[in-house]
Structure 1
Amino acid sequence: MARAGVFLGLMGLAVLVAAAFGALHNQVSYTVGPDYFHAFKFRQFTIPREMDPRLGAAEVGVLASWWMGVLIGLPPFVMGVLTLRPAARFFRVGLAAIALAAFVTALTSLAGLVFGLYVVTPETAAAVTLPIKVGDPVGFLRAGMMHNASYLGGFLGTIAAFWLVRRRARATA
């Protein structure tokens, strides 16, 4: 019963960390490409025009990423609830899994941004047909690359977190 409570607590924490990551991530990507938000994300998430754009970007980040905490947390925490005893150990390993997943996601997102900074130039952006009209296609594409990379990072973070929990479970089996 105690491990079930730890499982639920870790899932809740994973959702909060994912939401906070999204809010912070969007502050960086808004700096890189405000058009990504004004022409695309604010409309997609029905952010009011009168809202401060930084606050709007944070809200988009929360709404777009909280659910990733569920997806990222489920595999390692199911493994943990089934294999890690006692509950306090499961909790410690679960916290480490959340930190590892967030770290991997952040690194991958940063790699997407760096890749976008090097690859997306005015020339390469001009060769891309965007589905919407934007004032700054370079910033738009760079911010988009950063966002796409963060979802890839979430997937890789899930694998890393699962691996960590599995390794810790095998260490005491």
Structure 2
Amino acid sequence: MTRRVPFAWFARNILVGTLLGGAYGAIHDQVSWSISPEYFTKFKFEQFAWAEIGLEPRLAASWIGFLATWWAGAIAAYAVCRMAFRHAFQDGASSWPLGRVVRRLLAVLMVAMAGGGCGFAYARMRAQDVERLWGGWRTYAGVQDLEAFATVGSIHNFGYAGALLGIVLVAVHIKVKGRVDRSSPQSLPPPGR
């Protein structure tokens, strides 16, 4: 088993993770825009003013979504690749083709989506407390639909927590699966070698 990470394999997987993370963010922020345009017009557009490229507001929300999540995809890909290399490589990089990496990254995205769903449910359960919890945004930024704003804020916060949980779960899965694969009879070298 090689101990050197093949750079091209590693770079390709990081790039794929970056693009998947960014695409997820772009789509995610279209959903977010449909719930609360104010989340962008009163908060995110100001936060990402440095990235203004003259898009109409709804498309700008997707651009911001890409910029806000590409790095999370890169981190997820890095974690998946490091764990795959450390615990699951049997025959070098060829034992982890792109499809195998993408499946793990999609699992991370699914947990992130579930986290966002939990954020939506949390916002609905705490709707009666929205003024107390999020009222500062009414004063600070002039938010009118505070409940929708808080819903999107919760979806985003829980989504990031879900992505982190997804990375951990996938890393643990790779570690355990790698251990099981290495101890199975078919992974042992033939006798006399």
- Taking structure 2 as the reference length, the TM-score comes to 0.80
Work out which of the two has the higher radius of gyration on C-alpha atoms and give 1 or 2: 2
Pick aligned residue for 1:132 from 141, 150, 157: 141
- The answer to whether structure 1 residue 97 and structure 2 residue 100 are counterparts is no
1:116 pairs with 95, 118, 123, which one? 123
Identity percentage of aligned residues: 25
AA at the equivalent of 1:18: G
SS of equivalent residue, structure 2 residue 136: coil
1:77 matched residue in structure 2: 81
CA contact (8 A) 2:111 2:163 kept: yes
Q: Deviations over 1:67-106 (max 9, x none)?
A: 0012222222112123313323222432221111011111
Counterpart in the other structure of 1:67: 71
Any conservation in 1 of the 2:80–2:105 contact (CA below 8 Å)?
A: no
Query: Which one scores higher on RCO, CA 8 angstroms, separation ≥ 6?
Result: 1
Report SS of the residue matched to 1:89.
coil
Who is 1:160 aligned against? 169
- Aligned CA distance change for structure 1 residues 49 and 118 (closer, same or farther; 3 Å): farther
How many aligned positions are there?
A: 171
For 2:81 and 2:69, locate their aligned partners in 1 and report how far apart those are by CA, in whole Å. Answer: 19
Following superposition, the deviation at residue 153 of structure 1 comes to 1.0
CA distance 1:24–1:136, change in 2 (3 Å): same
TM-score when normalising by structure 1: 0.88
8 Å Cα contact 1:6/1:90 also seen in 2 = no
1:48 Cα deviation from its structure 2 partner: 4.9
Q: Distance in 2 between matches of 1:114 and 1:58?
A: 23
Displacement of 1:113 in angstroms is 1.4
* Counterpart amino acid of residue 68 in structure 1: A
Shift of residue 129 of structure 1? 2.4
How far has the Cα of 1:110 moved from its partner? Answer: 1.5
Query: Which residue is 2:36 aligned to?
Result: 33
Q: Deviations over 1:150-171 (max 9, x none)?
A: 1101101111221222123112
* More moved, 54-63 vs 163-172: 163-172
User: Bigger shift: 18-27 or 43-52?
Assistant: 43-52
Confirm or deny that 1:51 pairs with 2:55: yes
Task: Note the residue ranges of structure 1 that are not aligned, 5 or more in a row.
Answer: none
| Conserved 8 A contact 1:75-1:162 | yes
| 1:117 Cα offset (Å) | 2.6
Question: Which amino acid in structure 2 is aligned with residue 45 of structure 1?
Answer: F
What is the root-mean-square deviation in Å for CA atoms of aligned residues? 2.1
Describe the SS at the equivalent of 2:94.
helix
Deviation of residue 44 (structure 1)? 1.1
